[in-house]
Amino acid sequence: MIPAQEILSTVFGYNEFRGEQAAVIDHLIDGKDALVLMPTGGGKSLCFQIPAIAREGTAIVVSPLIALMQDQVDALLQVGVKAAFLNSSLDSETAWRVEQDLLDGKLTLLYVAPERLMTSRFLQLLEQTKLALFAIDEAHCVSQWGHDFRPEYVQLSILHERFPTIPRIALTATADDPTRREIIERLGLSNARQFISSFDRPNIRYRIVQKQNTREQLHRFLETEHPEDAGIIYCLSRKRVEETAEWLCAKGWNALPYHAGLSNAVRQKNQKRFIREEGVIIVATVAFGMGIDKPNVRFVAHLDLPKSMEGYYQETGRGGRDGLFANAWLAYGIGDVITLRRMLDTSEADEQHKRLERRKLDALLGYCETTFCRRQVMLNYFSEHYTAPCNNCDNCLEPIATWDGKIAAQMALSCAYRTGQRFGVKHLVDVLLGKPTEQVNRFQHDKVSTFGIGHAYTQAQWQSIYRQLVAANLLTIDMSGYGSLKLTEKSMPLLRGEHTIAFRNDPEVKKKKAKSTAKRGNNLLPAPDDAFWQALKNRRLELAREQGVPPYIIFHDSTLQEIHEKKPLTLNEFVLISGVGQSKLQRYAEAFMEIVARY
């Protein structure tokens, strides 16, 4: 048997295992069962691919995601491993040929959709085959509580009954306790060893900006930090997706929309372009993302607030799978709080469910408003202990000052009270600033005691104050009206001066006119105007097009970056680049060394 370490370097071209990989692989090669919880980008695939190569026979990989199977098989073929997939996208002749290859023992890995695996015909085929292992990817699909429940997954326990001696590995990036227990129970994995990794994504930088002019803020963010990168922009509604994509295109960005209201054909086309081309921005609702394995998504931007920390973690987690720097950028304002609270209150769900959703939203709002390390707050939410500072979130990089907001809060609350708790933020701020607007005149609010008492703060500061009061449940939004703000039982002690409150000094609000000094963050990829870098990328794209595969299947950005840095000119030098195994050395070294020589 070839040692795992040797497979890692000669086949995949990597020097070292990451985290738990080595332990999982040894365990599986030994013929034992494993449950692996690892975050997105943690390197789950190698955990079963290397044992598949090391052990005799074919590894059967169950995966619910058709698009991903193609990708993984393409990637394996590139490194010279015999792999194939069986799912509904194949015509019957191709499927028949794959089955023959399986029977002839020609396949190292076979990816199968669960519904196909569970047919009695296919199980019989497996009985005539020498099997290396079963890998059950996206194992959280057995969980009825999750959003990705797949009924066929529940039947996968049959594998253990029919093939008791074949080792099984279940993998997922969903970490919570109830899901884990369900996986163990439903897949009969109570004797499996559990390998649990930290869910931290250290290469993702979390940042939240206060909404002022969201589109302009987005445009500036892209211009300064991601002028040529691929990324995802999430919006809450289809309409906002459409409008944002159009606006970005008009500004010269390569942006495509994606939401459930588009025809299947358009969605497929846009998704394919995002994966196959370079530097495409996809503007999407949360309908987009599941089954997207693109490793070089350099940023994930949220123009609207996600619904929960779980959603936020999952969506931002689509950035930086390759381990290189990625930005998670969220624009947030009081409007988001109002919209989400309203959606919750008017939903058809029962009270218990609503209470749960409200708690989730409050946790997310707490995360948005925190002045502590964001990574710490997030990982704590997922019951993981993390010692701050991370030095890779906005609050760590630019510590947030707080200020004593007792008087300001009293003014803000009393203004809502004096005007009858019937008005939204905009009007309340107008009253505080003493603006004689039409509405102020109509309701004679220039006569209330809070009219014009708020000149110590700007309009943006008052908005920030109201947002923080609402986020802390010191004001609540009345859903029957137009987002009018009402006092809560928590507001009275504050109003009476029995409590004090600390507000965060929002940076954008503080230095309104200050020029953006943001650089390209930790984005260590060569600059867009570097001709050598562009030539490397172009060559990669040509090779990818010739073979009809995404560019990252040829080489990851990190590999390309290392070629750029080390400038290998001989095969001995080239093979030392991370991500270059024997197969890719033969296929591509010449093509890229030619470019190195030219520059």
CB of 207 to Zn ion, least distance (A): 10
Decide which of Zn ion, ligand ADP, none touches 393; Cβ closer than 5 to 8 Å per partner kind: Zn ion
Decide which of Zn ion, ligand ADP, none touches 38; Cβ closer than 5 to 8 Å per partner kind: ligand ADP
Residues recorded for the chain: 599
Residues facing 300 on adjacent strands: 232, 328
Cβ proximity to Zn ion: between 21 and 327 the closer is 327
Residues 125/102, Cβ–Cβ less than 8 Å:
yes
Tokens of 375: 């990574």
Distance, CA of 516 to CA of 216 (rounded, Å) = 12
Binding letters toward ligand ADP, positions 15-54, x by CB under 6 A: -xxx--x----------------x-xxxxxxx--------
Decide which of Zn ion, ligand ADP, none touches 375; Cβ closer than 5 to 8 Å per partner kind: Zn ion
Decide which of ligand ADP, Zn ion, none touches 271; Cβ closer than 5 to 8 Å per partner kind: none
Distance, CA of 466 to CA of 282 (rounded, Å) = 33
Provide the H-helix boundaries in 389-444: 394-397, 406-418, 425-432, 438-442
Provide the H-helix boundaries in 187-288: 214-225, 238-250, 264-276
Comparing CA positions, the residue from 555, 559, 568 lying closest to residue 525 is 559
Tokens of 482: 């137009």
CB of 295 to ligand ADP, least distance (A): 5
Binding letters toward Zn ion, positions 460-499, x by CB under 5 A: ----------------------------------------
Count of residues that bind ligand ADP according to CB under 6 A = 18
Cβ proximity to ligand ADP: between 295 and 528 the closer is 295
**Which residues in 388-447 contact Zn ion (CB under 5 A)?**
390, 393, 396
Phi, psi of 529, rounded to the nearest 5 degrees: -90, 10
Decide which of Zn ion, ligand ADP, none touches 129; Cβ closer than 5 to 8 Å per partner kind: none
**Which residues in 375-394 contact Zn ion (CB under 5 A)?**
375, 390, 393
Of 103-111, 196-204, 319-327, 463-471, the window that binds ligand ADP (rule: CB under 6 A) is 319-327
Of 10-18, 107-115, 327-335, 459-467, the window that binds ligand ADP (rule: CB under 6 A) is 10-18
**Which residues in 520-559 contact ligand ADP (CB under 6 A)?**
556
Please tell me whether residue 325 binds ligand ADP under the rule CB under 6 A. no
Cβ proximity to Zn ion: between 201 and 556 the closer is 201
Count of residues that bind Zn ion according to CB under 5 A = 5
Residues facing 81 on adjacent strands: none
**Which residues in 255-314 contact ligand ADP (CB under 6 A)?**
295
- Three-state SS string over 310-378 comes to HHHHHHHCCCCCCCCCEEEEEEECHHHHHHHHHHHHCCCCCHHHHHHHHHHHHHHHHHHHCCCCHHHHH
Residues facing 204 on adjacent strands: 326
**Rg from Cα positions in the chain:** 27
Q: Which of 373, 425, 472, 474 binds Zn ion (CB under 5 A)?
A: 373
Comparing CA positions, the residue from 399, 397, 366 lying closest to residue 381 is 366
CB of 431 to ligand ADP, least distance (A): 52
Query: In the block, which residue shows the tokens 């199977």?
Result: 69
Q: Which of 33, 322, 357, 562 binds ligand ADP (CB under 6 A)?
A: 322
Comparing CA positions, the residue from 225, 200, 177 lying closest to residue 41 is 200
- Chain residues binding Zn ion by CB under 5 A are 373, 375, 390, 393, 396
